[in-house]
Structure 1
């Protein structure tokens, strides 16, 4: 199996039901952790549907935010949901269309692990910020802390052992605090720190959990879409047997993300 062919992120509404409702909660906690000043200039790398840009716009009252993503449908969705001084551009995160040292901060939400060379991407983010500027990001803890995705892959592997190669917990080793710290340090950033962010993910019933896996957005749903109907039903049943249910049928899990931040050294060359 080619892992990358399942990494499909193209539809705003499908993303919203699968991940957006939870990523918004994490974005709020991340922005609070940054404790940013007003009137700063931000670039949001891998902005997706604009969740983090919207939170930063509301909380930090920036001078401007530029959101960058390579998915045209996501950028289109972002433009409809984020008002004011935010501008969205279809572009490559590995080659940001902003001038050297033109931003006060570069941020990224839930995207770093999907970029081909995370250290190169963070170095590019550092290029975009002024000396002393902030570079920060967060990613899901796929290995241990992202409850519904962890349970999904455990169920999938029980049915189809070959699915282990697609498990995001195995595929994305950068999604650990020690690895994130190392990437930031390797990119030349200083004052590096990490933290965990945990949010509730409560599903009204099993359908509310399972149905988003049928929309093909992201690695796990992409895998589900590749299955024959009988195998899809087997994975669904295995997952249904594994998740805890409240008396009313709802399913209460948690999702953990790891966040990291650092600063471009004062006196660093601006090329």
Structure 2
């Protein structure tokens, strides 16, 4: 599910880059520091740190070899290593960050405790799956209208314990971090047309595309047509927005 880097880029990676830029500006870490990007994926946040934060060095860590291969091609100025957010081993850095990852970590509290152990400045951001990530919200609302059982896969309620301001603040303070702040980042997600919106859901990478891959052809077509009826703007662009919640603290 998480090995196809190109599929991830088409699905949501393209929208993660403007969020990463806003996050790095807000984090406002001093220049000349070492960075650790935990769950670096295809390298969107790593690349943004290199472009905007003047790091002394940055290492990206991710469990997916497929994502790391693409990240290494895209971001030659960084080091990439296979690793687990919940066990960073001996790794340490001045700044530890994590972008769009905590929702998928089995034990988020343990992961944040690792971030706090490894770094002095600790920051992260996650999509607001409950309502703010509109492309996914439209998808799951349509899926549930066709098949109520799909609610078991809906990222909104599944990830609510991590993807809202209150839980994020509690994770950071629970890890012993101080001066904790939470900030909302909203970016436009404009699709050229309905095909540009729909086709990434066929890529199998991510929770919603993985769900689509389980559907029989007629069910998948029904879902596609319902979404088209709700979103298609006469064949023109589909203008949505995506919100992420960012959190930062210091040790």
TM range (shorter): over 0.9
Partner residue in 1 for 2:138: 151
Taking structure 1 as the reference length, the TM-score comes to: 0.90
Q: Which runs of 4+ in 1 moved over 6 A?
A: none
- The CA deviation at 1:97 is 3.5
Q: Distance in 2 between matches of 1:238 and 1:179?
A: 33
Which position in structure 2 is the counterpart of 1:211?
A: 199
Kindly indicate whether residue 94 of structure 2 is the aligned counterpart of residue 104 of structure 1: yes
Alignment counterpart, residue 65 of structure 1, candidates 58, 64, 69? 58
Q: Deviations over 1:92-149 (max 9, x none)?
A: 11111334xx3111000000110011111000011111xxx21100000000100110
Alpha-carbon offset, residue 235 of structure 1: 0.8
Assess if the C-alpha contact under 8 Å between 2:194 and 2:232 holds in 1. no
Whole-angstrom CA distance in 1 between matches of 2:90 and 2:248: 20
In the alignment of these two chains, the number of paired residues is 250
| Match among 35, 46, 52 for residue 45 of structure 2 | 52
Counterpart for residue 246 of structure 2: 259
> How far apart are the structure 2 equivalents of 1:239 and 1:223?
15
Greater alpha carbon shift after TM alignment, 203-212 vs 34-43 = 34-43
CA distance in 2, matches of 1:65, 1:239: 41
Structure 1: tracts of 5 or more residues without a match:
1-7, 265-271
Match of 1:19 in 2: 12
1:78-98 deviation per Cα after TM superposition (whole angstroms, max 9, x unaligned) = 1111122x1100111111133
Asked whether the 8 Å contact 1:113–1:175 carries over to 2, the reply is yes
- State how 1:238-253 maps to structure 2 within 5 Å: 238-243=226-231, 245=233, 249-253=236-240
Aligned-partner Cα distance in 2 for 1:144–1:112: 17
Normalized against structure 2, the TM-score is what?
0.97
Aligned to 1:28: 21
Q: Give the Cα separation in 2 of the matches to 1:191 and 1:119.
A: 18
Give unpaired runs (5+ residues) of structure 2. Answer: none
Contact 2:29–2:95 (CA under 8 A) maintained in structure 1:
no
